[in-house]
Structures are given as C-alpha cells and as structure tokens.
Copies of this chain bind each other. A is one copy, B any other.
Amino acid sequence: MRNIKLIIEYDGKDFNGWQRQPNKLNIQGTIENAITKVTGEEVNLIASGRTDAGVHALGQVANFKTNSTIPIEKIPLAINSSLKKSILIKSAEEVDEKFNSRLSCKKKTYRYIINNSRYGTAIYRNLETHIAYKLDVEKMQQAIKYFEGEHDFKAFKASGTSSKNSVRTIYRAEVMKKEDERIWIELTGSGFLYNMVRIIAGTLVDVGMHKIEPEEVKKILDSKDRKNAGKTLQPQGLYLVKVEYE
C-alpha cells in the first residue's frame, strides 16, 4: 500500500477540532470523506496531533494508506476540489510505509497571535485574541527565554489531563512585535502537552501586564503546579505552523 503524507492548512473556527466524532463537524472526518471521494476507499487519516475547536493550522501534517494509483502530484487538487474552502491540502508526498505523522514527529512550531489594540478587531476576530491592556513586550521577551531547553512542563498543562511524562524540550521561544499592534508568540519544541501553548501565552500576558516578573516563570516551572501559571488563552489565536520530521 502507498503511504501518503499531506501538509494541510485549515481555518479552525468552522470546526469542532481535528478529531473525528459523530454529529459534529470536524476536520479529520471532512478530509477523510474527501479522500474517499477521490480514491473510492475508506481511509484513516493520522495527524501529527489533534487540534482543539477554533485552533488553526498553517502546516498540519497527516498521512493515510491507499491502494489508489492516482499520481502523487494530482492528489492536492483532487482532494481540494472535494473539500470546503476552509481546509486546503498544500502538498502531498509519497513516504515510507513506516512513516506515521504522530509517532515520527520530531519538532512542532506553534504561533499565538495577540491583537493588542484598544478596541480589538472586526476583520481578524476569529484569527487573533484581543487584549486591550497595553502589554510590555520587552518583559515578555525576557520571560519567554525561561521556557527554552528541557523542562518538566507539568505546571503548563491542562489540569486533570493524563500524561505519564511531562518533560519536553523547547528549541526556540520568541515574542515578536508585528505591525498594527500585533504580538506573535512562537514556540518550537519536541512536543507540547494539552493546552501548553495557550497556558504559556496566558502566563506571558501576565508578565506583559506586570502582574508577575519575567524571572517568576522559572519558579512556576519548578513548582510543577498548574495553579501557579497564567490563564489558558482562547483557541482562536493559536496556529499549528509547522511539523518537522527527520
């Protein structure tokens, strides 16, 4: 069987998240149905990881197995023509049969976009999170550096979620000021716990509002206690930007 790897962009606001579930519009099921139309086969689409309702992806990766002989270069357009416009297959590649989007993943990059203007935004209301309080970006830039390296991120995962091991490595962590009063938070890591990026973003907002000092991020990490970290920010500011493999 052929193993096909897709790179996928989607607008999270139109869906109840990635995962297939009955009676709820979801991204996985929508793409699987489109693939079935193209190949005539039932397929199981394996993503690098689930994304929650409202979360966007610029570069989600997913793979499926097929006996179809459709040429690889025709696959994106073929699937796209059966899809809603809020999902886009950006590329397709034939990969080794052992490749698994979730298990083979080495690095992921997430972006969180904050609109820091006074009244927020009409145009980007589902694409950014509005925070009216003028944030101190320099302090946020100092604070985010404490996340770089290998840490136990237990304080930065949704409480009540199971995961044996909460140690992850962050390779790059950056806060950037963008045009029109936007702030981008970008993190590249070996993997992310449930809600981890949104809790990190919420904690950085506390730093930007001078509620806590940048150095306190280290103490919060060491405490391994979710209660010490900031709020979980809304999903609509979050983007899965890129997933990397060997």
A56 to chain B, nearest CB (A): 6
Taken together, the copies of this chain in the complex come to: 2
- Which of B86, B87, B122, B127 makes the CB contact (< 8 A) with A10? B122
B118 pairs with A90, CB closer than 8 A: yes
Q: Which residue of B lies closest to A125 (CB)?
A: B85
Overall SS of chain A's interface: loop
A87 pairs with B9, CB closer than 8 A: no
Q: Which residue of B lies closest to A10 (CB)?
A: B122
A1 within 8 A of B: no
Cα A88 to Cα B132 in complex, Å, equals 14
Chain B residues in 8 Å Cβ range of A119 = 76, 80, 88-91
Cα A122 to Cα B15 in complex, Å, equals 13
Chain B residues in 8 Å Cβ range of A9 = 121-123
A29 within 8 A of B: no
A201 within 8 A of B: no
A58 within 8 A of B: yes
Q: Mark A51-87, 1 if CB is under 8 A from B, else 0.
A: 0000010100000000000000000100010000111
Cα A76 to Cα B132 in complex, Å, equals 14
Cα A87 to Cα B118 in complex, Å, equals 15
A58 pairs with B123, CB closer than 8 A: yes
Chain A positions 183-223 with a Cβ under 8 Å from a chain B Cβ: none
Cα A10 to Cα B119 in complex, Å, equals 13
A167 to chain B, nearest CB (A): 32
B76 pairs with A122, CB closer than 8 A: no
